[in-house]
Amino acid sequence: MTRHQRATQAPCPNFAIFFYRKGGRPRTLATRAVALAGISALLLIAGCRQDMQDQPKIISQRGSEIFADHRGARPQAANTVARGQLHADSYFYTGVVQGANGYREEKNEIPFPVTLEVLQRGQERFNIYCSTCHSRVGNGLGMVVERGYKPAANFHDQVRLSQPLSHYFYVMSHGYGAMPDYSAQIAPVDRWAIAAYIRALQLSQAARMDDVPASVTVRSLKDVARENRLPESFAEPWSLPATAIQPYPHDLKQGNPAMAPANPADPMIAIPLSKPAHAAAK
> Would you give per-residue pLDDT tens digits along the chain (282 residues)?
555 444 444 444 455 555 555 555 555 666 767 777 777 777 666 666 667 777 778 888 888 888 888 888 888 888 888 888 888 899 999 999 988 888 889 999 999 999 999 999 999 999 999 999 999 889 888 888 878 788 899 999 889 999 999 999 999 999 998 899 999 999 999 999 999 999 999 998 888 888 888 888 888 888 888 888 988 777 776 665 565 555 455 555 544 444 444 444 444 434 444 444 444 444
Residue 257 lies in a domain: yes
- Burial of 114 from C-beta contacts in 10 A (0-12 / 13-18 / 19+): middle
118 and 255 in one domain? yes
Mind giving me the DSSP string for 13-65? Answer: P-GGGGTB-TTSPBPPHHHHHHHHHHHHHHHHHHH----TTS-SSPPTTSB-S
Helix axes 116-129, 188-205, angle to 10 degrees: 90
20 and 134 in one domain? no
Structural domain of 25: 15-44
Residue 81 lies in a domain: no
118 and 35 in one domain? no
Give the global pTM: 0.57
Residue 76 lies in a domain: no
Residue 134 lies in a domain: yes
The distance of Cα 139 from the centroid of its chain, to the nearest Å, equals 26
* CA pair distance 190, 56, nearest whole angstrom: 45
Number of domains in the chain: 2
- Give the SS3 label for residue 96: strand
113 and 38 in one domain? no
Contact 263, 151 (CB under 8 A): yes
* CA pair distance 248, 131, nearest whole angstrom: 17
